């Protein structure tokens, strides 16, 4: 990683590239088998470590899974996912450690959620009520969408909710830095319910909680699923100028 020198005097000479990295980030759901060098992953994480955090607590901890360990996690989690599908009562054994989504959905959030879901399934030709196809598509989360690199992010349970805000900035930093290297990502809350499988497998401590997972690799540009684009609310619709 290049040493940028004093931060206060650093000039961004190519702001268009910074914007392009942000604007081209999306949740890629199909990847090539092409490996990602460890040196590249180390560089990404070193850059992301500059993300801000309250009083510089830096609450993130990252487990990088490749090869046999990645495949082991995929196999065990997919088996659990299939078991839950066959017997929904088993879902109680896989409770999330924190509420990522609200208990009660209201507009406009439920509308955006539905638009996203219907849009993705529409691109893939998955009809409403096709539970088998929905299950298969959802399970691709637990295969890291065939990406060669799976990331699991944890946090010490002692930390407060503000540290999850810090974590979001860290995750975004990884994803934007990945774009500058031709890589794509998909952050995944889907992993959160399977901490009792994940934490022992990666060697995490009893004090750790899963924040989310992430797929990382070279996106398959020929995959139909990667043509799906989510919409964004226009800035003028969520911005309030207080003069």
Q: Which CATH number goes with the domain that contains 145?
A: 3.40.109.10
pLDDT in tens, 54-70: 999 999 999 999 999 99
pLDDT in tens, 137-172: 999 999 999 999 999 999 999 999 999 999 999 999
**Which pLDDT value is given to residue 8?**
84
**Which pLDDT value is given to residue 5?**
66
Does 2 score more than 70 pLDDT? no
Domain-located, residue 177 = yes
CB count in 10 Å sphere of residue 185: 27
**Which pLDDT value is given to residue 3?**
61
**Which pLDDT value is given to residue 9?**
84
Higher-confidence residue: 7 or 193?
193
Domain-located, residue 36 = yes
Q: Which domain holds residue 168?
A: 24-99+140-229
Domain-located, residue 240 = no
- Which two three-digit tokens encode residue 39? 């040196």
Mean local confidence (pLDDT), 1-25 = 84
pLDDT grade, residue 102 (50/70/90)? very high
Q: Are 189 and 167 in contact (CB under 8 A)?
A: no
As for how many domains the chain has, the answer is 1
Distance CA 47, CA 90 (A): 40
**Which pLDDT value is given to residue 21?**
97
Q: Burial level of 120, CB count in 10 A (0-12/13-18/19+)? A: middle
């Amino acid at each position: 990683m290049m040493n940028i020198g004093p931060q206060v005097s650093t000039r961004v000479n190519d702001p268009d590239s910074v914007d392009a990295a942000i604007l081209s980030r999306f949740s890629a759901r199909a990847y090539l088998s092409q490996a990602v060098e460890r040196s590249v992953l180390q560089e990404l994480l070193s850059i992301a470590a500059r993300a801000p955090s309250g009083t510089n607590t830096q609450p993130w901890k990252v487990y990088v899974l490749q090869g046999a360990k990645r495949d082991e996690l995929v196999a065990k989690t997919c088996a659990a996912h299939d078991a839950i599908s066959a017997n929904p009562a088993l879902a109680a054994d896989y409770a999330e450690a924190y509420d990522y989504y609200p208990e009660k959905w209201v507009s406009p959030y439920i509308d955006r959620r539905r638009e996203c879901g219907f849009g993705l399934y529409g691109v893939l030709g998955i009809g409403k009520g096709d539970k088998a196809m929905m299950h298969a598509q959802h399970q691709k989360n637990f295969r890291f969408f065939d990406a060669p690199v799976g990331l699991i992010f944890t946090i010490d349970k002692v930390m407060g909710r503000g540290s999850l805000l810090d974590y979001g900035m860290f995750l975004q930093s990884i994803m934007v830095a990945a774009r500058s290297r031709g890589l794509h990502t998909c952050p995944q809350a889907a992993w959160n319910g399977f901490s009792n499988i994940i934490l022992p497998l990666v060697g995490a401590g009893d004090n750790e909680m899963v924040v989310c997972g992430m797929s990382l690799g070279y996106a398959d540009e020929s995959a139909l699923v990667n043509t799906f684009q989510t919409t964004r609310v226009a800035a003028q619709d969520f911005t309030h100028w207080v003069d």
